[in-house]
């Protein structure tokens, strides 16, 4: 069954970091969040090159800002999918503790008489994206609504997302991580190792060098058990991401995706970040 003919349509937001070719092949509708830089607002991934975005972050007193898509953007997507033959829509989004996107999607879906279900992934980036991809695969195979929801819920417990932030300045100024909002001047020059779980960003360690930070991240991967999917995420750090991907490939036998994280995420963590996202078997 083609994705277009599936009884359940899948929607997500651009923080899911699903590669465009994957989203297109699986019929996933991606609603872009918004990023504002230098007084101009862009839909995430449209009209603003990522290289230009990161250059624009450097040396600016005023950081880029981000915003959820409008309710109208979600309503338009839902209406189009239902008019196109879908019997229902499952809309899976970034953790509600980290963004208003889930709340906006749920609000927009409320007017469709129970045909739209919004799900809080408790994750971000490919921690969210894997849930969306797996849900879309079973939906494309003709699964009913209950099965699609069950699959997404099951994947949520099987995803792992860890990252190294090259600088803490941007995440501190964004205010999204409570323990970095104040009194952090003494740790701004170290590398933060963090994981995302249950919608929360949790500190794993503070490390002085990039190499030590990456060694610790790579060392975590075998502790997760057998893996089905694996990816390396980065913000304006492609050469480093490719080297990390090769290390992980040698270690696991998998070929990781290498994905540059969306600018909406980059606005809060800055350039030079590297992460590992996995889905367990």
Q: Is 235 exposed, middle or buried (0-12, 13-18, 19+ CB in 10 A)?
A: buried
How large is the average pLDDT for residues 107-113? 97
- Give the integer Cα–Cα distance in Å for 4 and 25: 10
177, two tokens: 């991580």
Share of the chain above pLDDT 70, in %: 93
What pLDDT is recorded for position 168? Answer: 80
- Give the integer Cα–Cα distance in Å for 155 and 255: 20
79, two tokens: 């209406």
Instruction: Give every CB contact of residue 61 below 8 A, 6+ residues apart in sequence.
Output: none
pLDDT digits (tens, 9 = 90+) for 188-204: 578 999 999 999 999 99
Q: Which CATH architecture has domain 3-33+68-156?
A: 3-Layer(aba) Sandwich (3.40)
What pLDDT is recorded for position 56? Answer: 72
- Give the integer Cα–Cα distance in Å for 115 and 6: 14
pLDDT digits (tens, 9 = 90+) for 11-28: 999 999 999 999 999 999
What's the whole-number average pLDDT of the chain?
Answer: 92
Return the domain boundaries, the chain: 3-33+68-156, 159-280
Q: Which residue, 145, 33, 141, 34, is CA-closest to 82?
A: 145
* Half-sphere exposure at residue 57, Cβ-oriented, CA atoms within 13 angstroms: 27
CATH number of 159-280: 3.30.1180.10
What pLDDT is recorded for position 61? Answer: 73
Provide DSSP, 124-142. -THHHHHHHHHHHHHHHTT
pLDDT digits (tens, 9 = 90+) for 111-130: 999 999 999 999 999 999 99
How large is the average pLDDT for residues 249-265? 96
Q: Which of 58-67, 161-170, 259-268 has the highest mean pLDDT?
A: 259-268
Is there a contact between 272 and 166 (Cβ–Cβ < 8 Å)? yes
- Give the integer Cα–Cα distance in Å for 77 and 23: 15
Helices 101-109 and 71-83, packing angle to 10 deg:
50
48, two tokens: 């603003």
What pLDDT is recorded for position 276? Answer: 98
């Amino acid at each position: 069954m083609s994705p277009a003919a599936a009884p359940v349509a899948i929607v997500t937001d651009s923080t899911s970091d699903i590669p465009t070719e994957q989203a297109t092949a699986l019929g996933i509708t991606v609603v872009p969040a918004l990023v504002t830089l230098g007084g101009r607002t862009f839909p995430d991934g449209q009209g603003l090159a990522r290289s230009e975005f990161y250059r624009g972050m450097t040396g600016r007193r005023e950081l880029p800002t981000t915003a959820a898509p409008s309710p109208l953007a979600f309503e338009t997507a839902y209406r189009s999918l239902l008019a196109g033959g879908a019997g229902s829509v499952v809309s899976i989004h970034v953790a509600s503790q980290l963004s208003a996107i889930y709340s906006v999607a749920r609000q927009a879906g409320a007017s469709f008489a129970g045909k739209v279900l919004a799900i809080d992934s408790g994750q971000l980036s490919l921690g969210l994206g894997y849930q969306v991809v797996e849900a879309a695969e079973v939906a494309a195979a003709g699964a009913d609504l209950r099965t699609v929801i069950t699959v997404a819920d099951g994947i949520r417990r099987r995803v792992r997302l860890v990252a190294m932030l090259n600088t803490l300045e941007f995440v501190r100024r964004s205010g999204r991580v409570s323990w970095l909002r104040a009194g952090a001047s003494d740790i701004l020059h170290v590398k933060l190792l963090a994981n995302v779980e249950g919608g929360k960003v949790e500190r794993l360690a503070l490390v002085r060098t990039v190499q030590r930070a990456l060694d610790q991240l790579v060392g975590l991967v075998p502790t997760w058990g057998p893996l089905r999917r694996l990816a390396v995420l980065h913000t304006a750090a492609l050469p480093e991401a490719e080297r990390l991907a090769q290390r992980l490939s040698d270690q696991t036998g998998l070929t990781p995706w290498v994905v540059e994280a969306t600018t909406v995420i980059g606005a809060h963590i800055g350039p030079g970040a590297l992460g590992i996202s996995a889905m367990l078997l």
